[in-house]
Amino acid sequence: MMLAVMKMHTFMPRSCALALALLCASLPICAQKKDSLQKPIAGPRATALRITPLYVSPDTGAQKVDRVQIGREMVIAEKSGPWIRVYANTDIQELSQKDTPIFGHDETPPPISGWMEARGVVVETTPSGDQVLMGEAANQEALASDPHGPANAAQSARLLYRRLVEMFPGSPLAAEAAWRTADILWQLQKADASSRPSAKEREAYLHDQMDEEELKKVLKHYPHTRQADLAAFELIDNKLCGDWQGSPKCPEKESEYYEKYAAEHPDGPRTAQALYLAVYRQAVLTDMYDADGSDKKSSDTHAHAKELAARLKDHFAQSDFAVRAAALVYKLDERIPVYGIDRQ
């Protein structure tokens, strides 16, 4: 998917560079805390596809209790014609545990009960309900890429994907929905972290770290799947340096991370990219060692870059990453700097 830099409230669907699109995002950082809603003894779980008013009685002229947001978790207590009475999590921000204050934080308030119109509500008994949720979540994700789309479309998409996993755990769409749920949170947090001064610190442990819990759940519950491969690749982000500051330590370690990923996920959807990123870091090391007069090390990293580029060509010949790696190797062969271009 082509990359585009979006406005501050937008979201790039299904892109490996989603953090760039969300760099200026101001959406709240939310994470999974699904146990906050206490489901009544009886009643199916449900969610809304649109922002829906909640009333004290089944009448549009009745007093409004609140508004149920898209993707919020609900449980249906009873029905009355075209109306349903629900217990709904209407406006509670689901905070990541690491973002919760250690002292003085309030307990999560109980869900609000009220009546709402049944249309636009997907229930766990809805025929093809998983497909409906997946489709509307994807629609919300697309809206988040639109400069004129709703400000919280990314969060709506995330909640709808999460509801699919919870309401239809046996669905063939559950693995993809779980991955997208985790990915949206990761990219929101990554955009926030990259906007902070600490993002330029060299050592990874000095940066704000993204919450790994949901990605690790994808690895645990959907092992050996495309979604697990994607999650494993994304987790590398937390290990990366900020500004290398001319030190070979960072590209050395980062190249190891990407090479290890490629070895463990030889046919994954991010394997070609991982190999290219390793080639780039070997090319950077070649320039760094050359600048320091370390001819032996420079020669070794140059050779390793060529070896990795050859692997890319052999296994992913149709990938842009293969030809991009070939271009890097050409520059090395021609002694054209890849890193530290001012030395040229």
Calculate the CA dihedral of residues 288, 289, 293, 299 and round it to 10 degrees.
-130
> According to the model, what pLDDT value does residue 309 have?
98
> According to the model, what pLDDT value does residue 109 have?
52
Tokens of 125: 């008994």
Tokens of 83: 């109306």
- Between the two ends of the chain, the Cα-to-Cα distance in Å is 34
Tens digit of pLDDT at every position of the chain (344 positions): 333 333 334 444 454 333 333 333 333 333 333 333 344 445 799 999 999 999 999 999 999 999 999 999 999 999 999 999 999 875 444 444 444 433 333 445 567 899 999 999 999 999 999 999 999 999 999 999 888 888 899 999 999 999 999 999 999 999 999 999 999 999 999 999 888 888 788 787 778 899 999 999 999 999 999 999 999 999 999 999 988 988 999 999 999 999 999 999 999 999 999 999 999 999 999 999 999 999 999 999 999 999 999 999 999 999 999 999 999 999 999 999 998 765 44
Secondary structure class of 141 (helix, strand, coil): helix
Secondary structure class of 116 (helix, strand, coil): strand
DSSP-derived secondary structure for 60-110: TTSPEEEEEPTT-EEEEEEEETTEEEEEE--S---B-GGGS-SSSPPPPPP
> According to the model, what pLDDT value does residue 110 have?
65
> According to the model, what pLDDT value does residue 43 have?
79
DSSP-derived secondary structure for 282-326: HHHHHHHHHHTT-HHHHHHHHHHHHHHHHHHHHH-TTSHHHHHHH
> According to the model, what pLDDT value does residue 26 have?
36
